[in-house]
Amino acid sequence: MIAAVNSGMSMTEAGKLHGVSRWTVQRAMQEEGSSPDDTSNNIQPPVAVGF
C-alpha cells in the first residue's frame, strides 16, 4: 500500500485497491515516516468539536 503511493498512486486509489480508507493509508504512511510526493491528497479529516 505504501509502495503504491510512493510510486505515484494517490492515497485514495491505494486505499481502494487494498480495501481500506485513504485515512488508513495516510496513517500507515505517517507511522512508517513516509510522505508521498503528491501532496494534493493531504486533506485532513473533519475534527469533532465538543459543545
Spans of all domains in the chain: 2-41
DSSP per residue, 37-49: S-GGG-PPPP---
Q: What CA–CA distance (Å, rounded) separates 18 from 16?
A: 5
Look at residue 38 in the predicted model and tell me its pLDDT. 46
Look at residue 19 in the predicted model and tell me its pLDDT. 94
Report, as an integer, the average pLDDT of 3-14.
89
Q: What CA–CA distance (Å, rounded) separates 23 from 40?
A: 14
Q: Which residue has the higher pLDDT, 46 or 19?
A: 19
Q: What CA–CA distance (Å, rounded) separates 19 from 5?
A: 14
Report, as an integer, the average pLDDT of 21-44.
73
Look at residue 50 in the predicted model and tell me its pLDDT. 74
Phi, psi of 31 (to 5 degrees): -65, -35
Look at residue 17 in the predicted model and tell me its pLDDT. 93
